[in-house]
């Protein structure tokens, strides 16, 4: 890599850090979210739609006390796909319509589908952009 490439990579990392600033790190069970549909982390507060929570609970086969949210989809820059880490998370995404495929230790789905899911289930599915 040249110095110019390093500078561009650092700039991209800085920009993505500001885009990802609102990412919720502390996950909660779906059962807990149904009782109290608000994520609070630092200055960030996200109120969830109860109808969406009930729809998700109806679609999942695993108990709502085992399903943890938000589900994070990682999207590398320059790619057409994003991925989810973890078998349980992949199963949840699949049940919600991700239509992805497991490769290695990750569950891959098309970027447009990741965005669609994050809009449909706002607050429950979040996108984390990476370099």
Contact in structure between 77 and 93 (CB atoms under 8 Å): no
pLDDT at 20 over 80: no
Span 82-115, pLDDT tens digits: 999 999 999 999 999 999 999 999 999 999 999 9
Q: Based on the structure, what is the number of domains in the chain? A: 1
Instruction: Give the separation between CA 78 and CA 71, rounded to whole angstroms.
Output: 22
pTM: predicted TM-score of the whole model, two decimal places: 0.86
Contact in structure between 67 and 124 (CB atoms under 8 Å): no
Q: What is the DSSP string of 108-126?
A: EEEHHHHHHHHHHTBTTEE
Question: In terms of residue numbers, what domain contains 87?
Answer: 3-130
In this prediction, residue 9 carries a pLDDT of: 74
Instruction: Give the separation between CA 88 and CA 85, rounded to whole angstroms.
Output: 9
Span 50-64, pLDDT tens digits: 999 999 999 999 999
Which of 4-8, 36-40, 72-76 has the weakest average pLDDT? Answer: 4-8
């Amino acid at each position: 890599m040249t110095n110019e490439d390093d500078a561009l990579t650092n700039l991209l990392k800085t920009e993505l850090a500001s885009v990802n600033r609102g990412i919720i790190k502390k996950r909660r069970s779906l059962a807990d979210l149904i009782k109290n549909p608000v994520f609070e982390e630092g200055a960030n507060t996200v109120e969830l739609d109860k109808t969406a929570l009930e729809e998700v609970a109806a679609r999942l086969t695993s108990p709502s006390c085992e399903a943890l949210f938000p589900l994070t989809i990682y999207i590398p820059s320059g790619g057409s796909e994003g991925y989810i880490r973890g078998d349980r998370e992949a199963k949840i995404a699949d049940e919600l319509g991700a239509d992805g495929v497991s490769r290695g230790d990750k569950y891959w789905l098309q970027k447009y589908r990741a965005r669609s899911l994050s809009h449909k289930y706002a607050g429950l599915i979040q996108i984390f952009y990476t370099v």
